[in-house]
Amino acid sequence: MEVHKIIQSCRDAVEAGRERGQIVGLVPTMGALHAGHLSLIEAARRRCDLVVVTLFVNPTQFGPGEDLTAYPRDFDGDVRACESAGVGMLFAPTTDIMYPGGEATTVHVARLTEHLCGASRPGHFDGVTTVVTKLFHIAPAHLAFFGEKDYQQLVVIRKMAADLNMPIEIVGCPIVREPDGLAMSSRNAYLNPDERGRATVLFRALTEAQARVAEGNVDSGAVLDGLRRTIGDAGMIEVEYAEIVEASTLTPLTIVDRPARICLAARLGRSRLIDNVAVDPPGDAG
Ligand code: AMP
């Protein structure tokens, strides 16, 4: 596995792969890799000849007071994990390489970034879309793989790639969960044992809500009230938002009459966790 730390050598190596006729797949991550990341790498391996993983804790997507300095980092472990997962190339730049100073350009996706996580994390998605655009230019892949765990991020990146005619296919991958249902996340490392136990209520509340819709309860307000009650019963969890949104546009739905997503963000202690599940209108076979 090649490890690149500078932009030109990474781009040259990816372009050489393309010239050899390889289909290149990109998996952008912030490292501290877990089984969720590995599932993206596996999906990329199924469709691509050369898998490029990027490891970069992107400061511009963290707000003031967020967990940038505390964010878990494990470069050696990540290198080993990528090597055994069959990754061909790793790009792990420093912040100075990615942002040498004097940058004046931001990629902004309007509307889709204004609610859900965008409401409580101003500027977060500009940080994401700008760094992902940079990575698409540094490692010009044919496909890029993103997890449904960060569902809003996936929809925003799809929209950015479409609007800006980026010559890359965005592939969404299902959420990988712990055996008790908690969505895997590098941030789960912040949870103490008590919080870790209570965190399982998030997925339980989401699946209950999903079942209520499947039984014919299509009133989003009522379904979300039930979800908040279930989470409230677990104690000491603050729901930041819980919304049912149209799956492709993230438009909030008052009635679940089309494919949708129940999206949730919650705070437990010093951790902020997000999760989501798909919901289809009752009787919708698709
Ligand atoms: P991160 O390192 O947290 O920025 O995540 C990098 C990529 O991995 C993003 O596309 C995430 O959506 C994806 N990802 C993170 N956790 C999971 C998970 N539990 N299941 C599937 N994908 C995930």
Q: What is the pLDDT of residues 85-142, one digit of tens each?
A: 999 999 999 999 999 999 999 999 999 999 999 999 999 999 999 999 999 999 999 9
Beta-carbon contacts of 76 under 8 Å, excluding residues fewer than 6 positions away, are: none
- Report the run of H or E that residue 128 belongs to, with start and end: helix 124-138
Q: Give the pLDDT score at 282.
A: 86
Question: Do residues 286 and 191 lie in contact, with contact meaning Cβ atoms separated by under 8 Å?
Answer: no
CA distance 24 to 88: 10
Q: What is the pLDDT of residues 15-65, one digit of tens each?
A: 999 999 999 999 999 999 999 999 999 999 999 999 999 999 999 999 999
Which numbered atom of ligand 1 lies nearest the CA of 183? 19
Which DSSP letter does residue 90 get? E
Per-residue pLDDT tens digits for 170-223: 999 999 999 999 999 999 999 999 999 999 999 999 999 999 999 999 999 999
| Closest-CA residue to 68 (of 186, 199, 150, 195) | 186
d(CA 202, CA 73): 26
pLDDT tops 80 at residue 284:
no
Q: Is the pLDDT of residue 285 over 60?
A: no
> Probe ligand 1: pick from 149, 158, 171, 175, max atoms within 8 Å of CB?
149
pLDDT in tens, 235-283: 999 999 999 999 999 999 999 999 999 999 999 998 999 999 999 988 8
Neighbours of 102 (CB within 10 A): 5
Radius of gyration for the chain, computed over Cα atoms and rounded to the nearest angstrom: 19
For 171-216, what is the HEC assignment?
A: EEECCCECCCCCECCHHHHHCCHHHHHHCHHHHHHHHHHHHHHHCC
Residue nearest to atom 14 of ligand 1 (CA): 147
Annotated catalytic, 108? Answer: no
Q: Name all residues whose Cβ lies below 6 A of ligand 1.
A: 29-30, 36-37, 39-40, 146-147, 149-150, 173, 175-176, 183-186
Closest Cα to atom 10, ligand 1: which residue?
146
pLDDT class for 286, splitting at 50, 70, 90? low
Nearest C-alpha neighbor of 140 from the set 57, 22, 43: 22
